[in-house]
Amino acid sequence: MSMRTMKGTFALVLLYVASLCLALLAATVGAHPAHESLPQLDFQPPAPGSYKLHRIMAAPDGQVLNVDGKAQPLSQFTGDKITLLGFIYTTCADPEGCPRAYRVFDDLKKQMLAIPALNGKVRFVTLSFDPERDTPQVMAHYGSGRLKNAKGLDWYFLTTRSAAEVLPLIDGFGQDVRYSFSKANGKLNPELSHVLKVFLIDREHNIREIYTSTFLHPQTVMADVKTLLMELNEKVD
């Protein structure tokens, strides 16, 4: 093989690798996290109905956008059903951050759809606190096949029009988010860090439990959802 042929072949290999890397990078932006097995709980949660979940505070309200870009009040997604609401940003790569909330919701959805008594009584809400990058289109892609459906459990992926609209919600829920900036390509790019929190909200818009990563597990959440339903003397199995 001549030197010229070797150089040409090497250039083609480099071009292929570069295009592959770009494709993988593009696929991760706004894509939903890969499903991984959740660790087992190291404690046994109490039986549903054997304890009481106190009313912590009313869930804040504000304007949000659905995946079609339609503005709606958040309160439309936090009443009439039991709601699990989690703040995320789609570019989060911390496995114990936003991807964990996604995996827990995904696991819970499968379990709840298998229990007819729970059908139509629970909804999931995934709300971005990074509206600059998480547009309605990005949230639709992030939700993928898990968007609102008619199978007995609705899952909404929401964002806002601007930081000015999401910040009051972040403050109202007590969701810890820190914004910092790094300079790249001559521009200031926001970097986000936060403590994972998921909020359990009853039918009257009251927050009844707040989960951090330590206690965010399908087993504990399921017990709490059933406990809220048992308050109303509803079937849970």
**Do 87 and 175 meet the contact criterion of CB atoms below 8 Å apart?**
yes
By C-alpha distance, which of 231, 224, 229, 195 is closest to 208? 224
Res 16: pLDDT: 40
Average confidence (pLDDT) over 162-187: 80
pLDDT given for residue 97 in this prediction: 84
Assess whether pLDDT exceeds 80 at residue 123.
yes
Residue 5 reports pLDDT greater than 50: no
**pLDDT score for 226:** 98
Q: What is the pLDDT of residue 14?
A: 42
Q: How far is CA 42 from CA 29, 45, 98, 225, in A?
A: 34, 10, 22, 20
Report how far residue 4's alpha carbon sits from residue 7's, in angstroms, rounded to the nearest whole number.
Answer: 5
- Give the pLDDT confidence score for residue 223 in this predicted structure: 97
Residue 192 near residue 178, CB atoms below 8 Å = yes
* 3-state helix, strand and coil shares in percent for the chain, rounded to the nearest 5: 35, 25, 40
Return the closest-CA partner of residue 52 out of 232, 224, 182, 235.
224
> For residue 144, what pLDDT band results from cuts at 50, 70 and 90?
confident
Confidence category of residue 148, pLDDT binned at 50, 70, 90: low
Beta strands 177-184 and 187-194, pairing class: antiparallel
What is the bridge-based pairing of β-strands 57-58 and 206-211? antiparallel
Average pLDDT, rounded, for the chain: 83
- Give per-residue pLDDT as tens, 182-228: 566 655 455 677 889 999 999 999 999 999 988 899 999 999 999 99
User: Tell me, what's the pLDDT at 158?
Assistant: 97
Q: Higher pLDDT residue, 232 or 146?
A: 232
Contact 65, 178 (CB under 8 A): no
**For the segment 35-81, what is each residue's pLDDT rounded down to a tens digit?**
556 667 777 889 999 999 999 999 999 999 999 999 999 999 999 99
Predicted local confidence at residue 232, as pLDDT? 92
Reading the block at residue 2, the tokens are: 């001549």
Distances (CA, A) of 162 to 51, 104, 177, 185: 40, 28, 15, 23
CA end-to-end span of the chain: 71
Token digits for 7? Answer: 């150089």
The residue with tokens 């909404």 is: 156
pLDDT at 9: 45
Closest CA to 225 of 127, 148, 122: 122
Q: What is the identity of the amino acid at 217?
A: H
170: pLDDT strictly greater than 80: yes
Q: Is residue 135 scored above 60 in pLDDT?
A: yes
57-231 CATH? 3.40.30.10
pLDDT at 7: 44
